[in-house]
């Protein structure tokens, strides 16, 4: 059995418990030790049978444990890489969690410390990078490349041959047509329809999507 710690104590980490329970229902695989969080006010917080154990130093006490690190907020998503990289000096064993209900095509690759929620479709030869989150009922088309540290909201549809560079945030229900490149650091707003390549670090909303900030 794999001892697992979740970081931080946020909605994403609590959502990950859905996937953990699904996996354990098929075969007992994970023993969740609890959460860790940098906010000391949350330490010792109880969440059902789990506890916020403390900060990152807890990992030094559980050197054999694996970690799922899923920080994300739309207002600071571009800092996800910096937050997660803080664990590198601890020689962290990152865990990837994929719901058993995910449909996975041939040739799909999924990186480390990535969370894929229920009922996602990963088309043939799609590549999902490290430290990503893909929320429920999203469709990733064939040959799509999702860069490291990217978050893709629920019910999003990404057509074939799209490349999403690292550290992007794709809002709930967005649609991206085929063969486009979403440059690094982009925020795609909820429900937006993207019909052309984007510029780096852009914020794009609407149908069709228009840049409102860079």
pLDDT in tens, 166-213: 999 999 999 999 999 999 999 999 999 999 999 999 999 999 989 886
pTM for the model stands at: 0.95
CA distance 41 to 89: 24
pLDDT of residue 91: 76
- Domains belonging to the chain, first-starting first, are 2-94 (3.40.50.720), 97-203 (2.160.10.10)
Q: What are the distances in angstroms from CA 213 to CA 2, 186, 195, 203? A: 43, 10, 17, 5
Q: Within a 13 Å sphere around the CA of 153, how many CA atoms are in the beta-carbon half?
A: 17
Q: Tell me, rounded to whole angstroms, the distance of Cα 80 from its chain centroid.
A: 10
Sign of CA dihedral 130, 173, 118, 178: negative
Asked if pLDDT for residue 113 goes beyond 80, the answer is: yes
Position of tokens 């917080």?
45
pLDDT of residue 174: 98
Mean pLDDT, rounded, for 89-103: 92
92-122 in b/e form (b: 16+ CB < 10 A) is: bbbbbbbbeebeeeeebebbebbbbbbbbeb
Q: Give residue-wise pLDDT tens across range 39-89.
A: 999 999 999 999 999 999 999 999 999 999 999 876 778 888 999 998 887
Place 96 in a pLDDT band, splitting at 50, 70 and 90: very high
Asked if pLDDT for residue 32 goes beyond 70, the answer is: yes
Three-state secondary structure readout of 97-133:
EECCCCEECCCCEECCCCEECCCCEECCCCEECCCCE
Q: Give residue-wise pLDDT tens across range 125-162.
A: 999 999 999 999 999 999 999 999 999 999 999 999 99
Of 13, 4, 3, nearest in space to 42 by CA: 13
């Amino acid at each position: 059995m794999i001892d697992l710690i979740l970081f931080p104590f946020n909605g994403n980490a609590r959502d990950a418990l859905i996937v953990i329970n699904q996996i354990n229902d098929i075969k007992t695989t994970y023993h969740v030790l609890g959460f860790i969080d940098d906010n000391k006010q949350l330490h010792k917080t109880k969440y059902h049978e789990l506890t916020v154990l403390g900060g990152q130093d807890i990992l030094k006490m559980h050197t054999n444990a694996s970690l799922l690190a899923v920080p994300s907020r739309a207002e600071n998503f571009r800092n996800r890489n910096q937050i997660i990289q803080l664990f590198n000096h601890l020689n962290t064993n990152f865990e990837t969690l994929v719901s058993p209900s995910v449909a996975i095509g041939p040739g799909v690759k999924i990186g480390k410390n990535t969370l894929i929620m229920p009922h996602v479709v990963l088309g043939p030869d799609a590549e999902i990078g490290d430290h990503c989150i893909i929320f429920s009922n999203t469709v990733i088309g064939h040959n799509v490349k999702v860069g490291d540290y990217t978050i893709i909201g629920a019910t999003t549809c990404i057509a074939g041959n799209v490349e999403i560079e690292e550290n992007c945030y794709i809002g709930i229900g967005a649609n991206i047509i085929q063969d486009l490149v979403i440059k690094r650091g982009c925020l795609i707003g909820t429900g937006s329809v993207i019909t052309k390549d984007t510029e780096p670090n852009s914020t794009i909303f609407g149908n069709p999507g228009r840049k409102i900030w860079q």
